[in-house]
Structure 1
Amino acid sequence: MQVWVGEYRASIYREGEVWTGVISLGRQPDGRRLRLKRRAATQRLLMRKLVQVADDLAKGVRAERNYTVQNAAEDLLKVLAGKGLADTTVQAYRTLIDLHLVRQLGQAPVRELSADHVEHWLFGRAEVLTTSTLQILHGLLKRALRRAQRHDKVARNVAELVDTPRGRSPRRSRSLTLPQAKALLRQALDGGDRLGPYVAVGLLTGLRTEELRALRWQQVDLDTSTVLVTRSARAGGDTKTPGSRRGLRLADLAVSALLAARTIQAADRLAVGAAYQDSGLVFARPDGTALTAAHVRDQFRLMTQAAGLGTSWCPRELRHTFVSLLSDTGVPTQKISDLLGHHDTTVTETVYRHQLQPVIENGAERMQDIFTSLLTASA
């Protein structure tokens, strides 16, 4: 039976126990016929489905009726990975989508998603996510639906109609006190932890976590006690800013930590043998491959626990501690800014304001004295 549904002619026929309707849309570029098919238990239900199809077609939408938010998100991730985005970034996006989007909205067909659905979902996530993370997640949904819209899978991007709510306040970064720094440095140098040299160098130099994970032996000169910071574990291997490329003098304790790292790697090579992947990294896994941020975070918390500091600390707080210790001994803000790889003192004064002395008059550089005394002075 032939019927008109809006501007489209449809063929309706019975197939066993169900009714089938087919709308012909001509031919595809390769010559194959392009048809939309729907099935329903009754003829009346089938007509409702065909009317919906015709309405979508009038709006320029040719989406499969089961094309879901999860499908749209997966398609976006494939595109992002194909554009050369860093694997770590794509994985971070995937984790956010899996944990906070798919579980709540993933099974909803994009054509049935409403602004109310998105708003309700965002306000629910605002209870557990920070504002910045919420903005990233909302942005991913917008991009996924924008791509679906561009490919005629949905008529409008309802996520664009909703404002991102304010999330929970992020945990403020802290710095270790001098006694806590002593305890952690003792654990790093004498506790037998594989991550010990990493933690010691991070505490003694103020390097960013991504700079430490990407540090190679060719950047280190143990004879002159210097390190050149020229790369990081960011996309493309570049440092965060051009000003982040810098040279640093190493405290004696940092040199000792690097020698310990070299000893650990020599033992790894013997244990792993031909399977060892020598990437030239200073800090690596037992097989020579690069450390991940998650691995460093987990091992770092085990170390802080072993040092009697609990498990609430993050690796980036080694850098904050570095600032705090220098500031407490009168090192000028400009010098601290240079050591951190900041373009000027603005970031140093804003991000680390809570760790800087209000007035700094003594311009003497005392890094070596500070860090050497950590193990010689009483805790």
Structure 2
Amino acid sequence: MSDKPQRRKKASHGDGTIYWSDAEGCYIGEISLGYRPDGSRNRPKVRGRTKAEVKDKFKQLKEDHANGIEPGDKYTVAQACRDFLARGLPRQEEGTVKGVAIHVNNHIIPGLGKAKLKRLTADDVDDFLSKKKTEVSTSYLGRILGTLRRVIRFAQRRNKVVRNVAELVEAPTAKEGRPSKAMTLEQGKLLVRKCRASREPWIYAYVALSMFTGVRTEEARPLKWEHTHLNPAKGERCSCRRVHKEDLPPHVEVWRSVRKKGDTKTEKSRRTIALPSYVVAILTDYAVKQFESRKRNNHEYENIIYVFGTRNDTVKDARNVARYFQAIVTDAEIEGEWVPRELRHTFVSWMSDQGASDELIADLVGHRKTSTTRTVYRHQLRPVITKGTDLLDGVFAEEFREAE
């Protein structure tokens, strides 16, 4: 063991000290990197089977120190993910945080969690994505990669790693996802009839508003009566409980959502939408039934805040709305699984069928760019012919006259 010194050798300034440890069965190196913020010496240790390996680690420590990166390579992808969830999403919506947590806990940590973040390579990320592409859709795989990039960017800001290898790769084509779909006019009429006969008046009003104005589900659920103007005639008390100073058409102000601080998805999403006459009639009738139901069941019935609120006047849970919506779709004998947001796709499809331009549809559904409308609703759009805000009135007028 003559080549394995038992005593430490004094090293030149900045070279560090290397010595053999019988207890650990390897070489141990110590190098001084100055002082920590609390004034204590920053003298990390590294281990290697040979002196050359220790010296290579010294070199890496010096480079990291020069770049302001935290020394050592024990920090894993899993630790980075957990730190990101704990501190990296302070302004995000609850739903966004839950989605990111699913990406992290169900995909990234099981697939890459044990890897040391500093040693993670682009090839590692590519291999991870290749394995996932048989499990998830292309769009979802892209979101997983986006989350991984955010995690590593967060670690970069915390001086844990120099570069973001996830930025060097692209998500491959994966499984084909379930495309959003739109109801045909006949399916829409079947749904309207079943909703009209429902014992829950709110579902009829909810479907009518969503299907014939294209509001998002996150905008419909927190809609308030103060933003709903069913009879805004000059000098008369409106459903918003105010008296308007000028004659206005019936409309809703889509200014709020269930997002953090109540903001809509984008600034352009804040919009005022005129209501078709039959939607006005449905909402007016529903307002009376809502008041009577609350009063009859000894719940708060004066100054009701939310159009589609619970019996305790809180915003309905999205999952409950989706569950009830699918149930009534099934009762209407409309095949397949449907979710409330597809009422918005239905609105776009019908508007396009009736000749509405991309620009008009983008304005009505609250898109900042028509390119968003064409990308998200590409299956629903038809060639452009003309425009108008009441194009669906004629299509459904006969249906609602039959109901009367």
With normalisation by structure 1, the TM-score equals 0.76
Give the root-mean-square deviation of aligned CA atoms.
Answer: 4.3
Give a deviation string over 1:317-340, Cα, whole Å, max 9, x none. Answer: 212222333454566766555543
Higher strand share: 1
Instruction: Tell me the CA shift for residue 63 of structure 1.
Output: 4.9
Instruction: Tell me the CA shift for residue 280 of structure 1.
Output: 3.3
Q: Does 1:183 align with 2:209?
A: no
Aligned mates of 1:120, 1:188 — CA distance in 2? 49
Aligned counterpart, 2:79 = 71
Sort the Cα spacing of 1:118 and 1:270 in 2 relative to 1 into closer, same or farther, 3 A: farther
Give a deviation string over 1:181-214, Cα, whole Å, max 9, x none. Answer: 1222233333235655322321132212232133
Most deviating of 254-263 and 60-69: 254-263
Q: For the Cα contact (< 8 Å) 1:300–1:314, is it kept in 2?
A: yes
**Secondary structure in 2 matching 1:81:** coil
Aligned mates of 1:254, 1:27 — CA distance in 2? 71
Aligned mates of 2:349, 2:141 — CA distance in 1? 30
Q: For the Cα contact (< 8 Å) 1:265–1:286, is it kept in 2?
A: no
Aligned mates of 1:10, 1:25 — CA distance in 2? 15
Sort the Cα spacing of 1:322 and 1:254 in 2 relative to 1 into closer, same or farther, 3 A: farther
Aligned counterpart, 1:312 = 337
Instruction: Tell me the CA shift for residue 73 of structure 1.
Output: 1.9
Instruction: Tell me the CA shift for residue 358 of structure 1.
Output: 4.0
Give 2:268's aligned amino acid: P
Aligned mates of 1:107, 1:338 — CA distance in 2? 48
Give 2:63's aligned amino acid: K
Sort the Cα spacing of 1:238 and 1:33 in 2 relative to 1 into closer, same or farther, 3 A: same
Structure 1 segment 1-379 matched on structure 2, within 5 A = 1-2=7-8, 7-9=15-17, 23=30, 25-36=33-44, 53-60=57-64, 61-63=69-71, 65-82=73-90, 84-193=91-200, 195-224=203-232, 225-234=250-259, 237-238=263-264, 240-242=266-268, 244-253=270-279, 255-257=281-283, 259-260=285-286, 263-264=289-290, 280-285=305-310, 287-291=312-316, 293-328=318-353, 336=361, 338-341=363-366, 352=377, 354-355=379-380, 358=383, 360=385, 365-374=390-399
Q: For the Cα contact (< 8 Å) 1:187–1:303, is it kept in 2?
A: yes
Sort the Cα spacing of 1:85 and 1:117 in 2 relative to 1 into closer, same or farther, 3 A: same
**Secondary structure in 1 matching 2:328:** helix
Aligned mates of 1:362, 1:238 — CA distance in 2? 25
Most deviating of 133-142 and 351-360: 351-360
Aligned mates of 2:122, 2:115 — CA distance in 1? 13
**Secondary structure in 2 matching 1:59:** helix
Higher helix share: 1
Aligned mates of 2:292, 2:16 — CA distance in 1? 73
**Secondary structure in 1 matching 2:274:** strand
Unmatched segments (≥5 aa) in structure 2: 1-6, 233-249
**Secondary structure in 1 matching 2:142:** helix
Q: For the Cα contact (< 8 Å) 1:183–1:307, is it kept in 2?
A: yes
**Secondary structure in 1 matching 2:161:** coil
Aligned mates of 1:14, 1:96 — CA distance in 2? 44
Aligned mates of 1:279, 1:109 — CA distance in 2? 55
Q: For the Cα contact (< 8 Å) 1:11–1:21, is it kept in 2?
A: yes
Aligned mates of 2:298, 2:17 — CA distance in 1? 69
**Secondary structure in 2 matching 1:228:** strand
Give a deviation string over 1:268-321, Cα, whole Å, max 9, x none. Answer: 7997979x9x99332345554434555544443333233322452232221222
Instruction: Tell me the CA shift for residue 68 of structure 1.
Output: 1.6
Instruction: Tell me the CA shift for residue 267 of structure 1.
Output: 5.3
Structure of greater Rg = 2
Count the aligned residue pairs. 370
Instruction: Tell me the CA shift for residue 220 of structure 1.
Output: 0.6
**Secondary structure in 1 matching 2:108:** helix
**Secondary structure in 2 matching 1:27:** coil
* Percent identity (aligned): 32
